[in-house]
Every structure is written in structure tokens, then in C-alpha cells.
Amino acid sequence: MAFFKIDGKEYELKLTFKSIEYLNSQFEGGSYELIGLAIQGDFEAFPKIIHAGLFHTEENFSLAEVTDEIEKLINDEKISLEDVAKICDEVVTQSFFYRETVDKLMKNNPEMKKALDQLRG
């Protein structure tokens, strides 16, 4: 279970229908591109994943607020690429919605599975 702290409060990151719909619209390749980016721990996809993961809180955080918080965390050396990759993995590839598809992709692509296993440590 992944968490993200914003405005001094920690929130669970969870995908819902609205957040999945949002993420699908953010990437030209839809869900499959998102899965690939999550496996890579893509830095540009990270704020969108965090933003979507906060939708269920109904706090209505903007993408700009999320990005500002990520910038602070990086500038204060409180989040690294390793953290980004771990959170992307937990929120996207381990989510109920995407997990079965990710497992099928891993079965058919040993290199991708190896990369994901390395990410998970």
C-alpha cells in the first residue's frame, strides 16, 4: 500500500474508476503505456499517478499541487528515483485493476519481468 504526504497529511494512494479513466486519457498508448511507464518508474508519469491516486480522498488536489509537493520532496532530498519507482509499482502494477494484465505481460516478456523483479528488490 502506497502513501503520499501533501499539505502535512498522509494519504493512501488508491485507484478508482475516475482515476483509472483519468490516467488512461493522459497517455497516448492508454493503459498499456501507463503500465510500461509505471514499471520504468517514469518521472514524468509519476505526478499524474500520484494525482490520480489521490482522487478517492475527494480533497480535489490539483496536478500542480502534487507536482509542487514532489518538487519540495526532491529538493529536500526526501524522495529518490527508487521511491518513485516503488510508488509507481505499488499504485499501478500491483493494483487490482492492472495486476492481471501485468502478470500476463510478465509471463510473455522475461526481460520485463526481470526489470520489475529488480525494481521490487
How far apart are alpha carbons 116 and 104 in whole angstroms?
A: 13
Please list the alpha-helical segments (H only) found in the chain. 17-26, 30-40, 46-53, 63-75, 81-88, 96-108, 110-120
On whether residue 61 sits in a domain, the answer given is: yes
Please tell me the predicted confidence (pLDDT) of residue 121: 67
On whether residue 74 sits in a domain, the answer given is: yes
Please tell me the predicted confidence (pLDDT) of residue 50: 98
On whether residue 25 sits in a domain, the answer given is: yes
On whether residue 2 sits in a domain, the answer given is: no
Q: What proportion of the chain, given as a percentage, has pLDDT over 70?
A: 97
Picking from 29, 27, 28, 71, the residue whose alpha carbon sits closest to that of residue 49 is 27
pTM of the model: 0.90
Number of domains in the chain: 1
**Higher-pLDDT residue of 108, 38:** 38
Domain that holds residue 97: 11-120
